[in-house]
């Protein structure tokens, strides 16, 4: 019998964990697995706020896919997915077409701009290794430009749109980084402004207990972050942002962290989507196409209370494990195992040595929470690459030069 063909799209949290788990479970002759990703490395999105601000090297946020997979069991294709054709069981890549018996979609998310004029053109977002290299360079460029040219104060104004987890984690790092840049470029720190604009009345997601939100905002304010709360960004221009209250903030740097939506390829392929994400069945399969498994930010998994779980790395990893097992059961004709999300908690970094979060139901903050955040990062590296990867990315990691 010809081996079944499994194609995994995306080597983010959901995709790479599916591939790594699958290679442990399968015999090479029973299934041909192809993993497609647009880069030849896996990156840890959860780490990107640091290289974006320049407080860590971007190399510590990525690892070569060849180091993670067994190439005798998983065939890796570095290419960009252009189209998914679920009716024909085909995937069109930039340079070839793949056919599949079973497909796993783990293509992650895209920046949600809510149609706000000028955002796409003038704001930067933290969503890939290349985007954070660009942001880091841009921040430094603004300091250099301020020194060299006519000393416009707005070159030293950094606006961050959205104070959810991404915005908050980035702002915490940026506030740690700016004093270093002030020293390097001999700039008076009093001239530098970080303004975090948030449409809701508080920073951090609404699900976090009020006292942790207060704590987090107090830490940020002590670092010099200014908040504009209950204020939405209405438009973005090359030289600043227009707010809902009519104020225009001139700024040389605008970072947009106002939310994400699922990869647009799913909607283009004809899947029923809500904000680009596909609601999946108990086994993480599309209701329309049961031979398509969908993981991570592309999927919507409902809680027993009927609410969608938030898209995050924790659920994507667990979905990857479940999908690998259910692929194996599908191939061997065994009953599938329903996905049950085991929520372990959430911890958000607030910059060096500070974090807030919830572990199951226990609140954590400060240095202890920051330590837990490191443990979570280490645990993930261990899961995908064992102790050598933890060692390389967290202990003997690549140093930043300035
Ligand atoms: P991703 O990890 O985004 O992977 C998608 C993969 O698909 C990528 O490798 C990408 O290159 C590839 N890809 C995309 N399009 C194509 C294409 N057309 N062709 C080929 N390949 C393609 N969650 C947490 O739980 N904890 C955190 O601390 C946390 N921190 C975060 C910090 C930041 C700055 C951000 C932006 C997000 C954070 N999240 C965190 C959310 C978390 O990163 C996402 O929920 C998670 O990455 C989703 O995993 P995924 O597998 O769906 O997609
Ligand atoms: P988000 O949707 O959680 O937050 C976006 C924020 O932007 C919201 O607070 C929203 O009110 C605000 N906003 C939207 N439009 C605005 C406007 N026009 N002007 C001003 N503010 C506006 O998005 P995110 O923070 O990027 O997070 C995406 C996902 O990744 C979430 O599921 C999150 O839980 C996850 N994440 C988790 C962590 C962590 O666990 N440490 C870190 C980062 C991201």
CA distance 6 to 261: 26
Same domain, yes or no: 130 and 105: no
Same domain, yes or no: 241 and 219: yes
pLDDT in tens, the chain (402 residues): 789 999 999 999 999 999 999 999 998 888 999 999 999 999 999 999 999 999 999 999 999 999 999 999 999 999 999 999 999 999 999 999 999 999 999 999 999 999 999 999 999 999 999 999 999 999 999 999 999 987 789 999 999 999 999 999 999 999 999 999 999 999 999 999 999 999 999 999 888 999 999 999 999 999 999 999 999 999 999 999 999 999 999 999 999 999 999 999 999 999 999 999 999 999 999 999 999 999 999 999 999 999 999 999 999 999 999 999 999 999 999 999 999 999 999 999 999 999 999 998 899 999 999 999 999 999 999 999 999 999 999 988 988 876
Same domain, yes or no: 315 and 389: no
Same domain, yes or no: 132 and 165: yes
Same domain, yes or no: 150 and 250: yes
Same domain, yes or no: 286 and 313: yes
- Ligand 2, atom 4: closest residue by C-alpha: 164
Give the E-state strand segments of 69-108 in sequence order: 74-78, 81-85, 90-93, 97-99, 102-105
The set of protein residues with a Cβ atom below 6 angstroms from ligand 1 is: 10-15, 36-39, 45-46, 48-49, 80-81, 106-108, 126-127, 166, 169, 263, 296-298, 311-314, 316
From 87, 121, 140, 169, the catalytic residue: 169
Same domain, yes or no: 123 and 228: yes
DSSP H or E segment with residue 217:
helix 210-222
| φ/ψ (deg, to 5) at 206 | -60, -25
- Here the ipTM equals 0.98
Mapping DSSP onto H, E and C, the string for 279-308 reads EECCCCEECCCCCEEECHHHEECECCCCCE
Domain's final residue, options 292, 308, 343: 343
Same domain, yes or no: 265 and 244: no
What value, to the nearest 5°, has the Cα angle with vertex 239 and ends 236 and 244?
A: 35
Tell me, what CATH number does 34's domain have? 3.50.50.100
Ligand in closest contact with the CA of 8: 1
Same domain, yes or no: 339 and 357: no
Domain's final residue, options 321, 343, 365: 343
Q: Give residue 29's pLDDT.
A: 87
Q: Find the DSSP H helices in 69-191.
A: 119-122, 129-148, 165-185
Same domain, yes or no: 186 and 144: yes
Same domain, yes or no: 241 and 297: no
- Identify whether 305 is a catalytic site residue: no
Q: Give residue 402's pLDDT.
A: 62
Domain that holds residue 237: 119-256
Tell me, what CATH number does 169's domain have? 3.50.50.60
Domain's final residue, options 343, 361, 385: 343
Strand partners, 5: 32
User: What total of structural domains would you count in the chain?
Assistant: 3
CA distance 375 to 377: 5
**For residue 364, how far is the Cα from the chain centroid?**
22
CA distance 388 to 392: 6
Ligand in closest contact with the CA of 227: 2
CA distance 319 to 14: 6
The set of protein residues with a Cβ atom below 6 angstroms from ligand 2 is: 116, 161-167, 169, 197-200, 205, 232-233, 257-260, 310-312, 346-348
CB atoms within 10 A of CB 376: 18
Same domain, yes or no: 67 and 33: yes
Strand partners, 37: 78
Strand partners, 33: 6, 74
What value, to the nearest 5°, has the Cα angle with vertex 226 and ends 223 and 228?
A: 150
């Amino acid at each position: 019998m010809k081996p079944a063909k499994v194609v995994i799209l995306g080597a983010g949290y959901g995709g790479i964990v599916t591939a790594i788990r699958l290679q442990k479970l399968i015999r090479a002759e029973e299934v041909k697995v192809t993993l497609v990703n647009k880069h030849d490395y896996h990156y840890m999105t959860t780490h990107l706020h640091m290289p974006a601000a320049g407080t860590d090297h971007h190399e510590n946020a990525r690892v070569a896919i060849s180091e993670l997979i067994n190439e005798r069991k998983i065939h890796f294709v570095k290419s960009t997915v252009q189209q998914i054709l679920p009716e024909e069981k085909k995937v069109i890549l930039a340079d070839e077409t793949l056919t599949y018996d079973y497909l796993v979609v783990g293509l992650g998310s895209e920046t949600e701009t809510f149609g706000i004029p000028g955002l796409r053109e003038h704001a930067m977002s933290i969503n890939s290794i290349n985007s954070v290299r660009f942001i880091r360079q841009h921040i430094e460029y603004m300091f250099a430009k301020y020194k060299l040219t006519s000393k416009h104060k707005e070159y030293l104004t950094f606006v961050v749109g959205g104070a959810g987890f991404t915005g908050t984690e980035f702002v915490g790092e940026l506030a740690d980084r700016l004093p270093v840049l002030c020293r390097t470029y001999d700039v008076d720190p009093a001239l530098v402004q970080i303004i975090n604009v948030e449409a809701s009345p508080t920073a951090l997601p609404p699900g976090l207990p009020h006292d942790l939100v207060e704590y987090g905002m107090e830490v940020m304010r002590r670092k010099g972050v200014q908040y504009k709360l209950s204020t939405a960004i209405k438009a973005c221009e090359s030289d600043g942002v227009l707010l809902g209250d009519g104020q225009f903030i001139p700024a040389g740097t605008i970072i947009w962290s106002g939310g994400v939506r699922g990869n647009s390829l799913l909607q283009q392929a004809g899947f029923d989507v809500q904000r680009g994400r596909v609601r999946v069945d108990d086994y993480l399969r599309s209701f329309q196409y049961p031979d398509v498994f969908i993981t991570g930010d592309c999927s919507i998994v409902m809680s027993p209370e009927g609410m969608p779980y938030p898209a995050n790395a924790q659920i994507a990893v667990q979905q990857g494990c479940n999908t690998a097992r259910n692929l194996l059961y599908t191939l061997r004709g065994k009953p599938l195992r329903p996905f049950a999300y085991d929520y372990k908690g959430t911890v958000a970094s607030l910059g060096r040595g500070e974090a807030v979060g919830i572990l199951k139901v226990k609140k954590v903050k400060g240095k202890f929470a920051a330590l837990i955040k490191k443990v979570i990062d280490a645990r993930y590296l261990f899961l995908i690459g064992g102790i050598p990867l933890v060692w390389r990315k967290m202990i003997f990691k690549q140093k930043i030069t300035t």
